[in-house]
Chain A
């Protein structure tokens, strides 16, 4: 090939990747630069328009709308009527709201810590390079594939009073199991157990990723010092995945507050006696059974505040820990 091929022929002459991009004489470049930049901006706009349009209408607009709706009375059909802080006041005087807040708190308190503990232990168990382990890992991830409806159909049968697998196993241990889903005491823990089961795969995946980043050599040093396996797990592995634990704690708190109401809606519809009706479910019913859009939005807003408080609380805790060294 000649040293200076004609401009038009270049595109097909050589593979693109090997052509040097820098230092090529390009006389047309400097004057045209401003124009090129404007063309770039226009092209970028063209590339992004569909996505940004959808984002504006179905993400930004609802986000702002949710804030606004909480201050209006609206049944979805008439004209919305501005009521100021009425719904916010109603929040604090509504006994059902307080009960739902209690249920939400119970979900978080009963759910998050066991999810973290079990997830961590299972991740450590399955974090192994032994041949063939990969096949069994699928078992650990399998609950993730079950939708809320699928999980509900399964667990309703597991929890059946007579002939359910769980009461059967308890029977072998000499315990008479309760009528799980219709017992005001046991319905809540029953749902929490199910939610933990659904949440575990994600927790295990995140811990597995966290474990990959723990340097190997700290273990060999500790082994030389004669530390046992359990000791190493507690005093070396656990502190080294702390950032993962913080992330998981936040994710799980949020998901036990807002995400898991589908399961309660399908299985118990908030019953018996409102013992499984979380704030999220209460808000859902307000909106879609009572068509009280304004109050339902206030309930959602209240959950957002709770979540922000938790995130903020965790950040403060992490910061304090750092400062103490």
Chain B
């Protein structure tokens, strides 16, 4: 191929492949605005004739504001609790010299290789025994406790802080807590961006755990409310309302993803390569 044709060819290829991958999501957006007739019409129209915004109002009242609030409580609860618990632990493992740090690291790493779904049953049993079913505690705490990823990510970051920085503060009589809060934490912003975006996305998108631990309306999260709408032809709710619900469920994570894309991908690559 000649040089002059290569660049337009490459652009076309990139855009076409990208759009093919994104077809299901584009279909979701277009379908969420179709009328109940259009969405089941044969042949299906590519775009709605007039956008039916009522679908979003219907989806909103089907999902209920309670469910959306629950999703935020659950996701932010998991992210926040993991931060509070894993940041100091990661700092201690990276910077405070003590005997068992390697042993603890190994203990953290090994269970990471066991897929979460294989420990789903015993984790449920523990939560059940604690009497935490149908409570936010049961929803949030067992998920927040899966903190190995967070600890390793932050530790990796704290290790790169120059030792001189911390030694100097120590010699000046700053306690470890002060070193942690006033030196290490302010520098940890990039690692925080990576962690918050990954953790928020994964918590918001969880389905199985909230489904088995807290399916009742008081704690129901958005993916649990949305899943029955995948009933296809048997559903009594119009498919376009279901698609509008899917759009609503995606807006928070899509926003976080677009804003934090750079850090998110860095984190995914960093953990994937270890």
Contacts and interface: CB of A to CB of B under 8 A. Distances in A.
Interface in B138-182: 141-142, 144-148, 151, 164-165, 167-169, 171-177, 180
Given A44-B92, A163-B44, A267-B230, A154 B115 contact: no
B230 A153 contact: yes
Contacts of A262: 207-208
Interface stretch (A98-106, A200-208, A232-240, A316-324): A200-208
Interface in B89-127: 89, 91-93, 96-99, 101, 104, 107-108, 111, 114-115, 117-126
A148 B205 contact: yes
B21 A48 contact: no
Interface of A: 10-11, 16-17, 19-21, 24, 26, 37, 40-41, 43-45, 47-48, 50-52, 54-55, 57-63, 65-66, 69, 76, 122, 125-126, 128, 130, 132-133, 136-165, 168, 171, 181, 197, 200, 202, 205-206, 209, 247, 251, 254-255, 257-259, 261-262, 265-267, 280, 283-284, 287-288, 293, 296-297, 300-301, 303-304, 307
Given A54-B147, A150-B223, A143 B25 contact: yes
Given A21-B167, A149-B226, A163-B42, A65 B126 contact: yes
B19 A130 contact: no
Interface of B: 7, 10-11, 13-15, 17-19, 21-25, 27-28, 31, 39-44, 84-86, 88-89, 91-93, 96-99, 101, 104, 107-108, 111, 114-115, 117-126, 128, 141-142, 144-148, 151, 164-165, 167-169, 171-177, 180, 183, 201, 204-208, 212, 222-224, 226-227, 229-233, 239, 242-243, 245-246, 249-250, 253-254, 257-258, 261, 265, 268-269, 272-273
A268 to B, nearest CB: 10
Contacts of A209: 269, 272-273
Given A44-B101, A55-B145, A150-B223, A62 B250 contact: no
B98 A147 contact: no
Given A50-B89, A133-B14, A206-B272, A152 B119 contact: no
Given A128-B14, A247-B272, A164 B44 contact: yes
Contact of B257 (A62, A126, A145): A145
B14 A47 contact: no
Given A133-B14, A136-B14, A143-B25, A300 B111 contact: no
A162 B105 CA distance: 55
11 contacts: A47-B96, A60-B111, A65-B122, A69-B122, A140-B18, A160-B232, A163-B42, A171-B43, A205-B265, A206-B269, A261-B117
Contacts of B120: 284, 287, 300
A41 B7 CA distance: 60
A258 B118 contact: yes
A132 B249 CA distance: 29
5 residue pairs, one from A and one from B, having the closest CB atoms: A54-B145, A139-B18, A147-B205, A58-B145, A62-B122
B104 A283 contact: no
B145 A57 contact: yes
A262 B226 CA distance: 13
A19 B233 CA distance: 71
Given A44-B101, A59-B111, A165-B27, A146 B151 contact: no
A197 B171 contact: no
A262 B207 CA distance: 8
Nearest to A74: B125
B144 to A, nearest CB: 7
B219 to A, nearest CB: 16
Given A62-B123, A150-B249, A122 B17 contact: yes
Given A149-B222, A153-B28, 19 more contacts: A19-B171, A45-B98, A58-B145, A65-B125, A65-B126, A145-B201, A145-B253, A145-B254, A147-B223, A147-B249, A153-B229, A157-B31, A162-B42, A163-B42, A205-B268, A266-B230, A280-B117, A293-B121, A297-B121
Given A50-B84, A147-B249, A125 B14 contact: yes
Nearest to B226: A149
A269 B11 CA distance: 41
Nearest to A62: B122
A40 B21 contact: no
Contacts of A126: 14, 17-18
A50 B230 contact: no
Contacts of B44: 163-165, 168
A157 B239 contact: yes
Contacts of A147: 204-207, 223, 249-250, 253
Nearest to A311: B113
Contact of A154 (B25, B84, B89, B118): B25
A174 B249 CA distance: 36
A62 B19 CA distance: 43
A137 B147 CA distance: 30
A151 B56 CA distance: 18
B184 to A, nearest CB: 11
A100 to B, nearest CB: 14
Contacts of A50: 84-85, 88-89
Contact of B25 (A146, A261, A265): A146
